[in-house]
């Protein structure tokens, strides 16, 4: 299991949030990079919500995807921290050891992200965009507390 926690150093968290970028490539590195200047400089289109950038000489086109109102994205990294176990003893019954809950440290939050494609804008039915939309709908149904009448015959 996982739990979200704040970074132990408040200076590690971006106060103004961030805009994650979903690139159409694999980068075999996960972590920070010691660089002297930033090379990623997308240009926003003036007439729509698209962006253009070049990554290692290849033209990329990006589409901004807004998260629905009431939702917030989180950029988090694994930590070595584990939540302390809570024991519940119901009238003398033995408690079963539960799986440890590892803490993910929040690095930043976001309310939009950019999905990139090679040469062309990702379509509305892009797998990543569609997956996020379906996840939001699933989460809303799963957390819906309104009562529904039972279907007859089932």
Residue 59 confidence (pLDDT): 94
Residue 148 confidence (pLDDT): 65
**What is d(CA 105, CA 5) in angstroms, rounded to the nearest whole number?**
5
Q: What is the 3-state secondary structure (H, E, C) of 91-134?
A: CCCCCCCCCCCEEEEEEEEECEEEEEEECCCCCCCCHHHHHHHH
Over residues 71-94, the pLDDT tens digits come to 889 888 888 888 887 666 566 565
Pairing of strands 2-6, 112-118: unpaired
- Residue 7 tokens, joined: 């970074």
Residue 51 confidence (pLDDT): 95
Residue 68 confidence (pLDDT): 86
Place of tokens 């690095």: 107
The domains of the chain, with CATH numbers, are 2-25+43-83+101-142 (2.40.128.680)
97 alpha-carbon distance from chain centroid: 30
Residue 100 confidence (pLDDT): 84
Residues of the chain with pLDDT under 70: 7-16, 86-97, 148-154
- Residue 47 tokens, joined: 């007439």
**What is d(CA 8, CA 106) in angstroms, rounded to the nearest whole number?**
9
Q: Is 70 exposed, middle or buried (0-12, 13-18, 19+ CB in 10 A)?
A: exposed
Question: In sequence order, which residues have a C-beta less than 8 Å from that of residue 122 and are 6 or more positions away?
Answer: 61, 62, 63, 115, 116, 128, 129
Residue 48 confidence (pLDDT): 81
- Statement: the pTM of the whole predicted model exceeds 0.75: no
Residue 116 confidence (pLDDT): 94
Instruction: Compute the CA torsion angle 17, 68, 124, 18 (nearest 10 deg).
Output: 0
């Amino acid at each position: 299991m996982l739990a979200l926690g704040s970074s132990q150093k408040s200076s590690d968290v971006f106060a103004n949030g961030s805009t994650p970028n979903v690139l159409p490539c694999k980068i075999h590195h996960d972590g920070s990079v010691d660089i002297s200047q930033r090379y990623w400089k997308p240009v926003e289109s003036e007439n729509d919500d698209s962006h253009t950038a070049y990554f290692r000489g290849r033209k990329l086109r990006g589409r901004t995807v807004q998260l629905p109102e009431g939702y917030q994205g989180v950029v988090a990294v694994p930590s070595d921290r584990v939540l302390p176990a809570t024991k519940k003893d119901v009238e003398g019954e033995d408690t079963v050891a539960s799986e440890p809950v590892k803490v993910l440290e929040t690095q930043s939050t976001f309310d939009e992200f950019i999905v990139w494609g090679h040469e062309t804008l990702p379509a509305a039915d892009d797998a990543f965009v569609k997956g996020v939309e379906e996840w939001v709908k699933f989460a809303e149904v799963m957390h819906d507390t309104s009562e529904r009448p039972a279907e007859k015959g089932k």
